[in-house]
Structure 1
């Protein structure tokens, strides 16, 4: 469920319809301004803040989703 939401956010912000959850954000044409928009959207739509450094280190939908799921489980 979280992966689907993250995928939808990426799709909207990157203006891409088709990509894999294991595709790298930067290889898809992403850059820091788009990542800032994604960070805001995650907070707005999922209610959790992912630090920017984590978004850059975990640069796939799969990795970010796993990070969020772990954070929610720990809370």
Structure 2
């Protein structure tokens, strides 16, 4: 899973054309229902289950990608 794939999921789930690496999920209008959609997309598309608390703790594409890599979920 790369940064670009994570960003694509966020764009789709947030209904945006572009999301910057350091854009805050909540500042972009994200809320818990959208977050669950992102969590589901990680499971469906990549077979990776990310705990919802980690999505709250990592509210940017860059930080959640770093978390995934630290957990050896992602390959870059």
Aligned position for 1:40: 40
Matched pairs, number: 73
Q: Over residues 6-54 of structure 1, what are the superposed CA-to-partner deviations in whole Å (9 max), with x where a residue is unaligned? A: 1000000100012211000000000000000000001111211110000
User: Runs of at least 4 residues of structure 1 off by over 4 A?
Assistant: none
Alpha-carbon RMSD across the aligned residues, in angstroms, is 1.2
- Which has the larger helix fraction? 1
Residue ranges of structure 1 left out of the alignment (5+ in a row):
none
Structure 2 gap segments, 5+ residues each: none
Residue correspondence of structure 1 range 1-75 to structure 2 within 5 A: 2-72=2-72
Q: Is the 8 A contact 2:9 2:41 kept in 1?
A: yes
Instruction: Compute the TM-score of the two structures, normalised by the length of structure 1.
Output: 0.91
Once residues 8 and 17 of structure 1 are traced to their aligned partners in structure 2, the CA distance between those partners, rounded to angstroms, is 9
